[in-house]
């Protein structure tokens, strides 16, 4: 019964206020972005570049001194840039799991597997018009979420307005509590 209550609260919890105790995990992104390079009128090549935390900070034009890349535990599948210090800096949603999703839970191994669509974004970078899928694996114990792993396969827009294919993994580490 205790496990069922925990699972229910993990899946159906509404968004927590930003000052709630540790509703976020720090995240590390590893993957690639593929874009098309035009070499001539009918000659194209695929350019593959790394997609990591550094690239995400560059795409959103923010500093790692001011922001931390995080995954929300209350809005499963949301990756955000959160301010490290109190002040007027806004939280920035990088990508979010949509409402069209399916999940399965293993209470013996304390794992939830969830797959769903990505909510389209209006960013003006490679995450612009993002579409695709997120596969979310959440590990938990009796006190709550312990680790989240997101595998993302998506399409977006490159700097020239052409297609960009994104394939990356987001792995969480320690909790992050934004300042009030």
Q: What is the pLDDT of residue 144?
A: 87
Helix (H, G, I), strand (E, B) or coil at 133: strand
Taking the C-alpha atoms of residue 110 and residue 139, their distance in angstroms, rounded to an integer, is 6
> What stretch of H or E contains 80?
strand 79-83
pLDDT value of position 22: 67
d(CA 72, CA 75): 5
The predicted pLDDT at position 4 comes to: 40
Q: Which residues of the chain have pLDDT under 50?
A: 1-21
Q: What is the pLDDT of residue 15?
A: 37
In Å, how far from its chain's centre is CA 50? Answer: 16
CB 46 within 8 A of CB 119: no
Per-residue confidence (pLDDT) for residue 11, from 0 to 100? 43
């Amino acid at each position: 019964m205790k496990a069922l209550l925990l699972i229910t609260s993990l899946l159906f919890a509404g968004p927590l206020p930003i000052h709630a105790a540790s509703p976020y995990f720090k995240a590390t992104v590893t993957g690639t972005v593929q874009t098309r390079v035009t070499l001539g009128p009918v000659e194209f090549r695929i350019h593959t570049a790394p997609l990591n935390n550094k690239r995400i900070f560059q795409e959103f034009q923010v500093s790692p001194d001011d922001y931390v890349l995080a995954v929300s535990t209350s809005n499963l599948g949301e990756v955000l840039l959160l301010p490290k210090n109190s002040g007027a800096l806004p939280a920035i949603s990088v990508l979010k799991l949509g409402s069209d999703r399916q999940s399965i839970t293993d209470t013996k191994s304390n794992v939830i597997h969830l797959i769903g669509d990505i909510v389209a974004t209006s960013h003006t970078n490679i995450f612009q018009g993002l579409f695709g899928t997120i596969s979310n694996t959440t590990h938990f114990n009796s006190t709550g979420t312990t680790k989240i792993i997101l595998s993302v396969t998506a399409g977006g827009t490159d700097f020239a307005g052409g297609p960009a294919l994104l394939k990356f993994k987001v792995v969480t580490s320690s909790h992050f509590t934004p300042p009030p």
